[in-house]
Amino acid sequence: MEQHFDLAVVGAGVVGLAHALAAVRLGKRVVVIDRDAQANGASVRNFGFVTVTGQARGEVWRRARRSAEVWSEIAGPAEIDVLQRGLTMVARRPEAMAVLEAFLETEMADGCGWREVADLGDRLPGQGKVLGALTSQVDLRVESRTAIPRLAAWLEAAHAVTFLRGAAVRGVETGRLETSVGVVHADAIVVCPGDDLVTLFPERFSRAEVTRCKLQMLRLADPGWRLPAPVMSDLGLVRYLGYAALPQADALRARLAAEQGAHLQHGVHLIVVQSADGSLVVGDSHHYAATPDPFARDDVDALILDEFAQVFGQAPPPVLERWTGTYASAAGHSLVEAPLPCVRLVTVTSGTGASTAFGLGEEVIADLYARPQGVMA
Ligand SMILES: Cc1cc2nc3c(=O)[nH]c(=O)nc-3n(C[C@H](O)[C@H](O)[C@H](O)COP(=O)(O)OP(=O)(O)OC[C@H]3O[C@@H](n4cnc5c(N)ncnc54)[C@H](O)[C@@H]3O)c2cc1C
């Protein structure tokens, strides 16, 4: 049976759902189409860490701030628990402290402060050899594997969004989608395929040199203490552009290359977040390929756990789970194109979709309805 909607969204990951939310807030009738029976991509494999502090200066940082606001707005109605708030960005080296001191002088440090080791309190239970930490209030953390299904269920129940699951979209034209379960008609279409770079508009991904990135993740047993905010450390300061683009990051990069070369080689940095049952989600690593292999290497996990031990001054608790995830990767925060009139192609290419999708979705939907033809590049 053919159906007609104001907007069709391809992809029920966080990016697709963010566009659906922005559209229903404008009163649009929306259908979300996904080939999987339930969310199974990057959006449920991530930390659920909505990171504002450290995002690239300017528009990405503003998108992240807006996205954190939207997560807070919808958490109650959608019954999504915000499990942690803020960030504890630990400095283990003087060079890391210098980066954080410089960061604190920028406009991005709104709501952030510096704490000496003695003042870290419950922010860092079980301290390793650290010099202090930047603390922020604006970031937050949700449990993605439940938050994404709840967000979809709320969009369906409270905003009458239709979900077509188990439906692969094979072709998109203005006003029409051909799927594995039939044709869907929609006045406007937003394609949010995550890291499927070959099914829809592959030439756009290829032209923008988009590839894929594989990450290794671990869940550790409850350590017996509680973290009010996610924890990161020096290695993150040379990855997150809000810090890494500061001139002070050069000295830190050089020291890390000398002391933690293997960590840098495998793109390892430390993020530690805590779930409601006390278990910790810990990661991650970064390996790039058009088709990354699906295997999690033990030596790479060992590098992640080594940084955990340095920061917390104790051996990591037992590993409960291991998994890998992949996301689309390219220079720049995201690929947003108008391949056809009334059609947008949107992929976050920087591994920050949980942190920025709501802000990005609002921008794309506003532009789609203001300039439906888009700019045909
Ligand atoms: C391990 C890991 C940790 C991360 N940690 C964080 C973090 O803490 N904070 C953060 O901000 N970001 C994080 N990220 C990045 C973030 O998860 C991604 O940027 C984001 O989830 C991308 O969302 P998406 O909706 O584009 O992709 P996905 O979640 O992959 O969803 C895309 C969906 O599109 C569907 N689809 C694709 N093509 C078709 C088609 N032709 N027909 C039908 N359906 C189709 C797929 O089935 C899929 O469900 C992490 C990523 C990973 C992998």
* Average pLDDT by stretches of 10, the chain with 377 residues: 87 98 98 97 98 96 97 98 97 98 95 94 87 96 98 98 98 98 97 98 98 98 97 97 97 98 98 98 98 97 98 96 98 96 98 98 97 67
CB neighbours of 371 closer than 8 A, spacing ≥ 6?
A: none
Give the atom of ligand 1 at the shortest distance from the alpha carbon of 351: 15
Q: What is the number of alpha carbons within 13 Å of residue 239 lying toward its C-beta?
A: 22
Does 188 sit in the ligand 1 pocket, CB within 6 Å? no
- Is residue 274 lining ligand 1, measured as CB closer than 6 Å? no
pLDDT of residue 181: 96
Q: Quick check: helix, strand or coil at residue 63?
A: helix
Predicted confidence at residue 24, as pLDDT, reads: 98
One-letter identity of residue 78 = A
Give me 317's structure tokens.
Answer: 């608790």
Say if domain 3-370 classifies as CATH 3.30.1180.10.
no
Q: Would you say 182 and 169 are in contact if contact means Cβ atoms under 8 Å apart? A: no
Across 174-206, b (16+ Cβ under 10 Å) vs e yields ebebebeeeebebbbbbbbbbbbbeebbeebbe
Nearest residue by C-alpha to atom 37 in ligand 1: 193
Asked whether 15 and 357 are in contact (CB, 8 A), the reply is yes
Ligand 1 in contact with 267 (CB < 6 A)? no
Q: Say how many C-beta atoms besides its own lie within 10 A of residue 245's C-beta.
A: 10
CB-CB contact of 298 with 250 (8 Å): no
* pLDDT for the residue numbered 129: 87
Q: What is the pTM of this model?
A: 0.97
In angstroms, rounded to a whole number, what is the distance separating the alpha carbons of residues 142 and 318? 23
Which positions ≥6 away from 67 have C-beta within 8 Å?
Answer: 18, 50, 355, 356, 357, 358, 359, 360
Q: What is the pLDDT of residue 187?
A: 97
pLDDT, residue 375, reads 57
- Is the Cβ–Cβ distance between 159 and 92 less than 8 Å? no
Whether residue 49 has its Cβ less than 6 Å from ligand 1: yes
Report the nearest-CA residue for atom 25 of ligand 1. Answer: 13
For position 128, what pLDDT does the model report?
Answer: 81
pLDDT value at residue 377: 44
3-state DSSP call for residue 93? coil
Contacts of 121 (CB under 8 A, 6+ apart): none
pLDDT at 316: 97
237 touches 265 (CB < 8 A)? no
